[in-house]
Structure 1
């Protein structure tokens, strides 16, 4: 299982399933298992409680795409 993490600032906020929109300094965690299933989680930087991003069943056809998808998602969530 591969994990990628990025800290960024979300000025306009990020929607979560559990608590709605969160903003400020956030950490994105993506995990890709051996079958290509992708998990997307987010938290306030330094916090222990993680939230999920809306949606489900994210499947990568090629696990090597995990890095690209992670960077793309972090960039989109950070943009003003």
Structure 2
């Protein structure tokens, strides 16, 4: 299992399943297991409660793509 984390500023907000849109200083976490299942979660920087990004059954065909997908998500979520 591999976990990646990135902090960024979301000026327009990020939709979550549990609480709707959150914005500000956020932390994105992606976790990829050995079968390629990808879990996406987000929180306010320094907060304890994590929220999930909408969607389900994210799966990578190649585990080496985890880094690229994580960076891509962080970049897209941060853009104005």
Measured against the shorter chain, the TM-score band is over 0.9
SS of 1:65's partner is helix
Q: What TM-score comes out, normalization by structure 1 length?
A: 1.00
CA drift at 1:29: 0.2
Question: Given the alignment of the two structures, is residue 52 of structure 1 paired with residue 55 of structure 2, yes or no?
Answer: no
Q: CA deviation at 1:11?
A: 0.1
- The whole-number CA distance in structure 2 between the counterparts of 1:67 and 1:9 is 20
When the two structures are superposed, what TM-score results if normalisation uses the length of structure 2?
1.00
- Separation in structure 2 between the aligned mates of residue 46 and residue 7 of structure 1, nearest angstrom: 10
Q: What is the distance in 1 between the residues matched to 2:45 and 2:9?
A: 9
Q: 1:21 aligns to what?
A: 21
Structure 1 gaps of 5+ residues are none
Alignment of 1:1-80 (within 5 A): 1-80=1-80
Q: How many Å separate the matches in 1 of 2:46 and 2:67?
A: 22
Q: CA RMSD in A?
A: 0.2
Moved over 4 A (4+): none
Which runs of 5 or more residues in structure 2 are unaligned? Answer: none
